[in-house]
Structure 1
Amino acid sequence: MNVLMILGLVAIVVSLVVNNPASPVQRYAKLIRIAGVVLLVLGFFMKAVVQINPGQVGVQAIFGKVKDEILPSGLNVVNPLAVVREFDIKTQNYTMSGINDEGVKGGDDAIRALSADGLEVTIDLTVLYRIIPQSAPAIYRELGTNYRDVIVRPIARTRIRDLAANYEAVSLYSSRREEFQGKIFEAIDRDFKERGLVLEQLLVRNITLPESVKRAIESKINAEQEAQKMTFVLQKEKQEAERKRVEAQGIADYQKIITSTLTDRQLKYEAIKAQKELAESDNAKIVILGSGKDGNILINP
């Protein structure tokens, strides 16, 4: 009942009270009654027209009985005695996070679950969902308007705890995270559909392991990195040793070839050639030609 209808009823009651010959305002009783009827009728028609906002559907309840028909967005003519509740059918999100004031509830609202190896993991989760429009009356009838805290939150938290018990903590954090997220989606989606909701997306935003496990993982990673570094160093040293072996073999082969091909006459020719080049240079020098007693000394200042 809106304000106009209440004012109309009050005006009608007042007109009946003042409709007394002893009352000084008796002559206004009829006028007051007419005004009351006008307000009552106007309020009645205004109550009978309801506007539903975009992205919403309306659900009617008359004396506690919920009607199965939904009201689409726009103007709708309804029973003036009906109570209309709007339900949001757009995509909604519900975040449960360990960071203060990031989730729907204040404080630490992350999900804590036990893994298959008995370790406690902390999971931050965001659920994207929406209401099936045709299911809005059933949701209102069975759950009320607070369906988020009645269905979305407890189902998501329960399913994650149940499924986390099938995985080891380290696998949840690394290799089997995608598989874990997929199984959660399937389980929650099935429960949501039974309640008139559609699960659009499930985001496992963060998985936090116990500090002892994190330190063990970090130690393992450091050890693997050191092993990879040592493997690289050994490969490099092996390649350097191979290079030196090839170089030494090349030098040995060269010397072998030179030794086998040089003769006394060729060596003498090379010596004379070198001495000639030295004699033709501008620097002061002493040139000895020949060897032994037969050698000649040339001095070029």
Structure 2
Amino acid sequence: MTEPPRVRFRQWRRRHAMGIYALQLSVLAALIVAVPFSLIEIPAGHVGVLWQRFFGGTVTDDSYSEGLRVIFPWDHITLYDARLQNSARYYDTISSNGLSMEVDIAVRFRINREAVGALHKLVGPRYDEVLVYPEIGSYARDYISRYTPEQLYSANRAFIQAQILKRMRADGGASLLRGQDVGEKLVEVEDVLIRSVRLPTRVEDAIERKVEQQQAVLEYDFRIARETKEAERKRIEAMGVRDFQEAVAGQITDEYLRLRGIEATMALSTARNSKIIIVGGGEGLPVIFNPPGDMKAPGVLPVDPAQAGGEAAPEGAPADPFGRPSRIP
């Protein structure tokens, strides 16, 4: 009598139980090992380039954006930072007069997402050292060699930066794209900045002394102009004084001088910090004011009524600060 298929399967499974368990463990181990190679996480600001082991190698017409990607475990994804990058290098250059210099140039650049596959295939992850910095140095030496060190400190620096940037945008990596089905540049250069220029110590000192002397010359020019203006001002002032004296020379009278003396005495008497009794010096000038209370100005001697030039005040008139009757002019 023939046994049912189910019974036969159970018997076969009992006979091959060890082999089945070994196969299951092998599959599980393979999955555990393969999952990390199959699940690829692409961080923010990065792109991935796929390399296929059995289907043509590097994929140049497509790339992987941010997120979790699933690939075959035997394939590989290379990550590229697609964000704006900034880096600086020192370049040895020679000026137009044969002087050796070190120029510090900073460059801001980013990869072209559309051409990242070609960039990976033609250049590789070290594209900045292979492609960007050497071309920056080449263009910098070409343009800087047309100028003297003094000119690099002037507005020519901005012009040189613009020329290097223009060349990088037009020709950067263009030779690598010949024969490739890529219509874009591999790297997009955003800006080129000349941060500093290092000259030999003696040359730097000479340039600084030259600039100092130029500034000293400009300072003397301004001084001369100022003194010229001051001399012109004094000449005009003297002419005005002369014209005034000529105009009033025949019209000054004793009454006019007495009026001006009274005005000057009154102006002195209104000073807030006055501590002295002001008495007119000419004939007919009155006593203008007395200090408050019994204050006496130090160093002021009493005035003799006989020398005051007036008559004695009537009885009952207020006394002066020295206890004597005031004199009426």
Q: What is the TM-score of this pair, normalised by structure 1?
A: 0.69
Q: Map residues 165-204 of structure 1 onto 2, 5 A cutoff.
A: 165-192=145-172, 194=174, 196-204=186-194
Displacement of 1:260 after TM fit?
4.0
User: Are positions 1:222 and 2:215 aligned together?
Assistant: no
Displacement of 1:270 after TM fit?
8.0
Q: Distance in 2 between matches of 1:269 and 1:138?
A: 103
Query: Does the CA contact (< 8 Å) of 1:173 and 1:209 recur in 2?
Result: no
- Alignment correspondent of 1:53: 43
Which moves more between the two structures, 136-145 or 249-258? 249-258
Whichever structure has more strand as a proportion of its residues is 1
Q: Deviations over 1:67-117 (max 9, x none)?
A: 222122112232332122111111122221xxxxxxxxxxxxx21201122
Displacement of 1:238 after TM fit?
2.9
- Alignment correspondent of 2:315: none
Query: Does the CA contact (< 8 Å) of 2:95 and 2:148 recur in 1?
Result: yes
Query: Does the CA contact (< 8 Å) of 1:92 and 1:130 recur in 2?
Result: yes
Q: Which amino acid aligns with 2:221?
A: T
Displacement of 1:245 after TM fit?
3.0
Gaps of 5+ in 2: 1-15, 175-184, 259-280, 288-302, 310-329
Q: Distance in 2 between matches of 1:189 and 1:269?
A: 87
Q: Deviations over 1:168-195 (max 9, x none)?
A: 2211121211101100111122333635
Cα RMSD (Å): 3.3
Which residue, out of 122, 131, 143, partners 1:142? 122
Q: Distance in 2 between matches of 1:44 and 1:38?
A: 10
User: Are positions 1:123 and 2:115 aligned together?
Assistant: no
SS of corresponding position for 2:124: coil
Q: Distance in 1 between matches of 2:214 and 2:241?
A: 41
Gaps of 5+ in 1: 1-25, 97-109, 288-301
Which moves more between the two structures, 200-209 or 40-49? 40-49
- Alignment correspondent of 2:284: 277
Q: Map residues 63-142 of structure 1 onto 2, 5 A cutoff.
A: 63=53, 65-68=57-60, 69-96=62-89, 110-142=90-122
Query: Does the CA contact (< 8 Å) of 2:131 and 2:173 recur in 1?
Result: no
Q: Deviations over 1:120-171 (max 9, x none)?
A: 2221122111111121211111112221211122111121111211222211
Q: Distance in 2 between matches of 1:244 and 1:199?
A: 63
Query: Does the CA contact (< 8 Å) of 1:111 and 1:122 recur in 2?
Result: yes
Q: Distance in 2 between matches of 1:116 and 1:80?
A: 58
- Percent identity over the alignment? 27
Displacement of 1:217 after TM fit?
2.9
Change (3 A) 1:31 1:217: same
Q: What is the TM-score of this pair, normalised by structure 2?
A: 0.63
Query: Does the CA contact (< 8 Å) of 2:169 and 2:189 recur in 1?
Result: yes
Q: Distance in 2 between matches of 1:145 and 1:88?
A: 10
Q: Distance in 2 between matches of 1:258 and 1:154?
A: 86
User: Are positions 1:206 and 2:196 aligned together?
Assistant: yes
Which moves more between the two structures, 71-80 or 134-143? 71-80
Change (3 A) 1:116 1:283: farther
Which moves more between the two structures, 199-208 or 233-242? 233-242
- Alignment correspondent of 2:276: none
SS of corresponding position for 1:167: coil
Q: Which has the larger radius of gyration?
A: 2
Q: Would you say how many aligned residue pairs link Structure 1 and Structure 2?
A: 245
Which moves more between the two structures, 75-84 or 244-253? 244-253
Q: Which amino acid aligns with 1:90?
A: R
Query: Does the CA contact (< 8 Å) of 1:155 and 1:191 recur in 2?
Result: no
Change (3 A) 1:232 1:79: same
Displacement of 1:44 after TM fit?
4.7
Change (3 A) 1:283 1:117: farther
Q: Which amino acid aligns with 2:21?
A: L
Q: Which amino acid aligns with 1:223?
A: Q
User: Are positions 1:245 and 2:235 aligned together?
Assistant: yes
